[in-house]
Amino acid sequence: MSENPFSPTSENHVSLEKEAALSKPNPSLEYCGCTVEETLAAFQTDTNKGLPSLHIVNERRAKYGSNNCAQDEDSESLIWQFITTFTQDPLILLLIGSALISFIMGNIDDAISITLAIVIVVTVGFVQEYRSEKSLEALNHLVPAECHLIRCGIESNGILASTLVPGDLVRFKVGDRIPADLRIVEAVGLTIDESNLTGENEPVSKNVDPVILPDNGAPNVSQRSCIAYMGTLVREGHGKGIVVGTGKDTAFGAVFDMMSSIEKPKTPLQQAMDKLGKDLSLISFVLIGLICLLGIFQGRSWLDMFQISVSLAVAAIPEGLPIIVTVTLALGVLRMANRKAIVRRLPSVETLGSVNVICSDKTGTLTQNHMTVSKIWSLGSMQNKQNILNIETCNKKTLKNYLNDDTRELLTTGNICNNAIFSQEQFKFLGNPTDVALLEVLGEFDLVDCRTGITRSTELPFTSQRKIMATGITSNNKETFYIKGAYEKILQKATHYLTKEGKTEKLNSSLSKMIEDCAESMAGEGLRVLAFAKMDNTTKKTIIDEKDLGNLVFIGLMGMKDPPRPNVHKAVEKLLEGSVHIIMITGDSPRTAVSIARQIGIPVVNEADSCITGDKLDVMNEDELASVIDHVNIFARATPQHKLNIVRALQKRGDVVAMTGDGVNDAPALKLADIGISMGNLGTDVAKEASDMVLTDDDFSTILTAIEEGKGIFNNIQNFLTFQLSTSVAALSLVALSTALNLPNPLNAMQILWINILMDGPPAQSLGVEPVDHEVMKKPPRRRTDKILTSAVLKRLLTSAIFIICGTVFIFVREIDADGQVTSRDTTMTFTCFVFFDMFNALACRHSTKSIFKIGVFANKMFNFAVGLSILGQLCAIYVPFFQSIFKTESLSLYDLLFLLCISSTVFIADELRKYIFRSRNPTDIPFVYSQV
């Protein structure tokens, strides 16, 4: 499914058109007035099994098409788009005018040459822009929408929403994005956020009842209470729905064409490049105008000066710079996607290089996200913390000996207080990792899932604030609540405990202290500790909140193991080396959090200072938190609200914050953070929507990869900027000097245009995809205020330009002195010298501080291909008779070429010497610092 185009900015511009589009007839309007039974009959489907056969699915897919709102292919053909490109650039129009004037005045050769040059220049620009558009289009498909589908009686999770057809049965829960227009057939406490469709921020309550259609007109979108719209977000509850509309037959699709016409704003970096291009263009136009006037006053042909001026304008003005920046950013994002980090918004790439604080979840991000119950303990059977049952060291026969009444009740409570499901298709449990672990441990004791034989009366769901989940079971007119949660919360409400024989005894302070010590002992080993209890609802009171729970019977504890991911320690080490502050935020106990932090390399010098609990956070304001957060690495027993406070405190200090999250309640913090990072596997659609980046493997080390790529992209942009501008400066200065000294122009118009092709063409683009130098992570994060075109970059490009100018002028003067006049050989030598300088300059620009021999001369395959192609083109220009007539060149000897290579290599040698001096003065081997002078 395509990325949601609805945004507050775009709605402000097109609200009237959007309302008109939403009022058009569509399936949601047709079926909102139908009962559930009528809808099922219309689509020949079922509320439990969905569509009965794949044959029907295939028929409907053929009829209705794929469930996406992708734009139709542009009505203009590629050839016509190419042709219209010739009329879009004023400089190209000037060149066309120059060719026409040459033709009228009888200079047929010049007219043909300029025409060919125009075709080549426009083709290069068109290919660049086309590539940029295609790269950006590819970004829209990096995060395909998924759904929970029930078809032919089989439930499947993670199914692509694009495969849905009318009549399919879809299940949805809190945090999910609705994948198509659905007629709701089951709703439990269901509210849906439709703000991206209607503009109303308040979630809408949904039910299964048909809408009573008014006599005059039709109910508007917000009044269709039994319809869930494609692209909207489930805020509360859960339910099921029958697909009634897909793709452009949805309310989303009704306005998609209108919304897709809105041009996306450029990134700050692209805007900066646009401004730089305009500033350089203005300077170039002034210089070129002066050159042209000076040449005419000197008595030179006005047509020649006009052609050279226009050619200089095309070559010197970096009109392709924003396009190359876009291509570089887009290709960098695609590389990140291949490395499991999907950047959803292009501007985020610019922020990655500035991140100096990473706030990360523990479970699933720093750890492997596969929970297994490794230890259990019950007060009745085991009596003290030395007798904790280690499941990993026992075999099944031994474990059965521990199945006393309290241990059995402990396992049963974990079984009942559970929402994980078993997938027949994938043949495994699906759901929250903690719930899955509680079901998997049953097999160790030869117990089976008992939920099919019981009647669930109510449920108090687990939340980050509540830290407790309760499930009500009704049996023999008696309601019993089974409870699991943080041991502190359970102990606060527990008054009794279950004995080995299954009897209830009074819980005193010493026994409570024993339970607490046992839980702390498990947590100290890095285990997630859950406590379990039960409560008989003798009052028949409806349980609606945790305050309604009391007089709990404590049953036992379970310690769950979720080991750190193998690559996390190395990633943490590299990030710390690069001055990135890593903060672990978890809902676990402080002891568990500190243990895991030490295992993965997060520094914990003093536990009291390095770790803050949620209770302490509640009594701290932003200023207090900002003052101490510099040495805090762990936040334990934290809630999503705490995440929000932490982000605010960090940003108040001026930090650039990356924040990870996966739940609905994490969305505000993800949106507030400079880089919001959601989990691709466990993350809800709400979290993904609020985030800037999605980790498809939920692995912390992938964040390192993304930051590394972000920093590398900026290095590459600086490198090709150095290459392009040094060539522009050299070309302008060369013609300006020759004109000022009343010398013949060393380069003709065609040769200048060829140099422009090299500067804006493959060599420049290949610098944008230079492999990332891993040492970039040793460099501190880039400041927000740092510019791309720094003083260091300016010095470097001006130095390269001076070498190119001096070397080329030397060859030009030397050749003139040899024969006393300007011949085609002189211009050929000068032209070839400049092109060779360009190639050596491009080679030098591959890295700002490292020797090319250290990073690998042939490491960048695209660069090798681009330079090889450029050299081959230059050889054609001086040896192929057809091109000789166009460029006004003649053949050179092998000695000439070797001599030119020696002269032009000086720009490369000089840059290698500069790098050597820099490295000798900076033995720590730190890569180029953006703001360095």
Tokens of 416: 């009942």
Q: Which residues pair with 804 in a beta bridge?
A: none
Burial of residue 474, with CB atoms counted within 10 A of its CB: 0-12 exposed, 13-18 middle, 19 or more buried: middle
Angle, alpha carbons 93-94-100 (nearest 5°): 90
Residue 134, C-beta contacts closer than 8 angstroms, at least 6 positions apart: none
CB burial string 861-879: b at 16+ within 10 A, e below: ebbeebbeebeebbeebbe
Which SS3 state, helix, strand or coil, does residue 215 take? Answer: coil
Residue 823, C-beta contacts closer than 8 angstroms, at least 6 positions apart: 815
Closest CA to 207 of 36, 461, 444, 386: 36
3-class SS letters over 571-620: HHHHHHHCCCEEEEECCCCHHHHHHHHHHHCCCCCCHHHHEEEHHHHHCC
Q: Which residues pair with 660 in a beta bridge?
A: 677
DSSP at 630 = G
C-alpha distance from residue 454 to each of 416, 603, 749 (Å)? 9, 48, 87
- Catalytic positions: 361
Which SS3 state, helix, strand or coil, does residue 879 take? Answer: helix
Tokens of 772: 């990332």
Tokens of 216: 């005059």
C-alpha distance from residue 458 to each of 415, 419, 469 (Å)? 16, 13, 11
Main-chain dihedrals φ then ψ at residue 505, nearest 5 degrees: -125, 160
Q: At what angle do helices 749-760 and 302-316 cross, to 10 degrees?
A: 0
CA 33 – CA 52 distance, rounded (Å): 25
Angle, alpha carbons 812-818-820 (nearest 5°): 85
Closest CA to 834 of 910, 758, 775, 741: 758
SS3 content of the chain, % helix, strand, coil (to 5): 55, 15, 30
* Strand pairing report for 552-561 and 372-377: antiparallel
**Are 664 and 691 a contacting pair, CB within 8 Å?**
no
Tokens of 37: 């039974």
DSSP at 773 = P
Half-sphere exposure of 821 (CA within 13 A, CB side): 2
Tokens of 450: 């008992």
DSSP at 547 = G
* Strand pairing report for 428-430 and 154-160: unpaired
CA 681 – CA 436 distance, rounded (Å): 15
C-alpha distance from residue 196 to each of 193, 255, 881 (Å)? 8, 12, 63
CA 222 – CA 555 distance, rounded (Å): 48
Sign of CA dihedral 114, 118, 124, 127: negative
Angle, alpha carbons 59-48-662 (nearest 5°): 95
**Are 4 and 232 a contacting pair, CB within 8 Å?**
no
